Amino acid sequence: MIKWCVIGAGGIADRRTIPAILSDKNNKLVAIMEKSETLCKTLGEKYGVPAYTDEETMLKECDCDAVYIGTPVFCHYRQAMLALKYGKHVFIEKPVTLDSKQGRELVDAFKKAGKLIFVGYMMKYHNLHVKARQLIKEDGIGTPNSMRLQFTCWYPDIAGAWRQKKSLGGGGAIMDLGVHCIELAEYILDDQIVDVNGMYSTKTFSYEVEDGAVIIFKTKKGTLGHIDVNFNIPDVASESKLEIYGSKGYLISKGSLAQEEVGEMSYLYAPQGDYDAAQSRVTQEPQVFKGENGNLYLKQIVNFCEHVNNNDIDYSYADEAVHVQEIVDKIYQGEK
């Protein structure tokens, strides 16, 4: 049984993570902390647990094993360090911190203390993404030569929104959506991005962070990739597409870059021998796999708990999250 405290209970925590924790009998919610006094009271009553407006008081008074942090990015470093001071394992939302320097310091502190830190990149638990990684590993599309990812969310000007201020969110569409794509690309390819460049702009809205970006990358094994992230495309107009083309076929998923385990993925295996000078268009029906409608947030919590229960303090997830921040730093430093 893992006993949980939650810091920042009002947003994604209330929508996804706390329901996931409560749905698993091996987890127990002990207390919540929320900065907004109104939300604090409402959520304390909703979940029937003590509710605090100060995180240190909660950590002092409540007996828990793990802390989930679902606050805006600028709070992550301080609150995770505080949880560590009280000897807790931490599950923190993505992106790990405002930049890679903070992220490295944070993860190193957890390593030194022997406590687990996980970062909420839940898309790697999607059955279609697990399948894509497995097929690539089994030479199912030959050498993955080219990859594209599109992830968007309609995000207009909202007064006071932390995501729209560089000092609070660390950036815009790249920090919020691009990080998922970078992490997912590396997971599916089982590879690391070594070269990256990006262009971004604020075109549709008037906030200071970017509302759209294009990222190009090259991995250690040589895959070339392209990521589009946008805050300025209507939700229904977005394809949310993931495409991987290899020397023997393709994997194309639609709708799987999402908070739910939805979408479908087409898989084509079509190795070719000779050069066809006529370039006659031959078509072949792909195999289709469906999203299995599980709960990605529950899957990641269950995985975290397995590591804690087995005393398997694995830092590969956290190191990967810091690496994602390194890539993001390079993109932001690259464009002047």
Ligand X SMILES: NC(=O)c1ccc[n+]([C@@H]2O[C@H](COP(=O)([O-])OP(=O)(O)OC[C@H]3O[C@@H](n4cnc5c(N)ncnc54)[C@H](O)[C@@H]3O)[C@@H](O)[C@H]2O)c1
CA dist 319 → 69, 106, 114, 131, 232 (Å): 18, 10, 14, 23, 31
Tokens found for residue 45: 């009553």
Q: CB neighbours of 25 closer than 8 A, spacing ≥ 6?
A: none
Q: Minimal distance in Å, beta carbon 297 to ligand X?
A: 7
Cα separation of 80 and 97, whole Å?
10
Among 21, 39, 117, 318, binds ligand X (CB under 6 A): 39
Q: How far is the CB of 261 from ligand X (least distance, A)?
A: 12
Binding of residue 261 to ligand X (CB under 6 A): no
Going from the C-alpha of 62 to that of each of 30, 33, 42, 66, 118, the distances in angstroms are 7, 11, 19, 11, 21
Stretch that binds ligand X, among 29-37, 201-209, 223-231, 313-321 (CB under 6 A): 29-37
Q: What does R_g of the chain's alpha carbons equal in angstroms? A: 21
Token pair belonging to 213 = 């970006």
The whole-angstrom separation of Cα 117 and Cα 67 is: 10
| Smaller CB separation from ligand X, 176 or 320 | 176
Rule CB under 6 A: which of 127-186 touch ligand X? 176
Helix (H) or strand (E) holding 91: strand 89-92
Burial category of 333 from C-beta neighbours within 10 Å (exposed 0-12, middle 13-18, buried 19 and up): exposed
According to CB under 6 A, which residues from 179 to 238 bind ligand X? none
Check residue 124 for interaction with ligand X (CB under 6 A): no
Largest CA distance in the chain: 75
Q: What is the per-residue binding string for ligand X in 68-87, x denoting contact by CB under 6 A?
A: --xxxx-x------------
In degrees, rounded to 5, the angle at the alpha carbon of residue 293 between the alpha carbons of residues 289 and 295 is: 130
Which of 88, 94, 124, 299 forms a contact with ligand X (CB under 6 A)? 94
Interface with ligand X (CB under 6 A), residue from 259, 272, 287, 309: 259
Q: Site for ligand X (CB under 6 A): which residue of 58, 62, 104, 120?
A: 120
Q: Which stretch binds ligand X (CB under 6 A): 9-17, 21-29, 186-194, 317-325?
A: 9-17
57 binds ligand X (CB under 6 A): no
- Taking the complex as a whole, the smallest distance from the CB of residue 272 to ligand X amounts, in Å, to 39
40 near ligand X (CB under 6 A): no
For ligand X, which residue of 2, 5, 6, 12 counts as binding (CB under 6 A)?
12
- Residues engaged in binding ligand X (CB under 6 A): 7-8, 10-12, 33-36, 39, 70-73, 75, 93-94, 120, 122, 176, 259
